[in-house]
Structure 1
């Protein structure tokens, strides 16, 4: 079972960029996904398959894309995970009602906070293989 605690906003943005580069049909086919009705990610005026984007974001975070079988059947709260990173998601995405309520309370507390949060800096990504670069700045895969 894939865990998504290491997935950050830059990982999701990298998955979106790959989707844009490959096109929706090739992207879904490459990772073994079929279009998932009901759960979509809205970003930059474009609609994406939220489940596939999160699975590929997992690849950028860990080196292994989450499999469709690991994502289906409400095992992963896709919508809640993407909303947590500031994305707009339509549909439930398998989020249980308690998680949705908890997310709403957390968001309400965050808006009441007087501290301003700095935006998360995107991690550097290898232009060849799209993997997150280590601290050395040299890709482990490409050299």
Structure 2
């Protein structure tokens, strides 16, 4: 699993420069990425966020991140780009809560607990000090 803590802004800028020199389709094809749909702008051009981040990972570690690593849901590419100083679109607003008020529940009360009853001491044979069976007669001593 790829970690992106080693990816710096400089690695991302190197990836963007390669994206510019190759062109979008060639850049995606060379590294085997499909268009992710997450796009960001940098200096007037649009870039595929997942592909740029995956190749920046290659500049940082020597290995490009795979599509599965980028799309598994464990990596928020847009948030990572934002942390590295890039302008990314704001996430869509959360849906407004419904106008129907939520039902309120009565507070829960603790159920009364049963008292703790200690186990009775087992009966011991006075001769051999063994625990007596339920019959009360020692198996060894008789």
Q: TM-score, normalised by structure 2?
A: 0.62
In structure 1, the partner of 2:117 is none
Matched, 1:14 2:40: no
Which structure ranks higher in relative contact order (CA pairs < 8 Å, sequence separation ≥ 6)? Answer: 1
Residues 1:2 and 2:21 are matched in the alignment: no
Partner in structure 2 of residue 27 of structure 1: 27
CA-CA distance at 1:73 after TM superposition? 3.5
Superposed, 1:90-101 pairs within 5 Å as 90=89, 92=91
Aligned to 2:124: none
- Runs of at least 4 residues of structure 1 off by over 2 A? none
Q: Find out whether 1:62 has 2:58 as its counterpart.
A: no
List per-residue Cα deviations over 1:30-56 (Å, max 9, x = no partner). Answer: 11111111x112101000000100000
For the 8 Å contact 1:40–1:91, the answer to whether it is kept is no
Asked if structure 2 preserves the Cα contact closer than 8 Å seen for 1:2 and 1:66, the reply is yes
Structure with the greater alpha carbon radius of gyration: 2
Alignment gaps of 5+ in structure 1: 98-143
1:43 pairs with 2:42: yes
| TM superposition shift of 1:90 | 2.6
Paired residue secondary structure (1:90): coil
Question: Structure 2: where are the runs of 5+ without partners?
Answer: 95-142
Could you state the TM-score of these two structures normalised by the residue count of structure 1? 0.61
1:60-139 to structure 2, matched below 5 A, reads: 60-90=59-89, 92=91
- Separation of aligned partners in 1, 2:89 and 2:64: 22
* CA contact 1:40–1:49 (8 Å) conserved in 2: yes
Shift of 1:76: 0.7
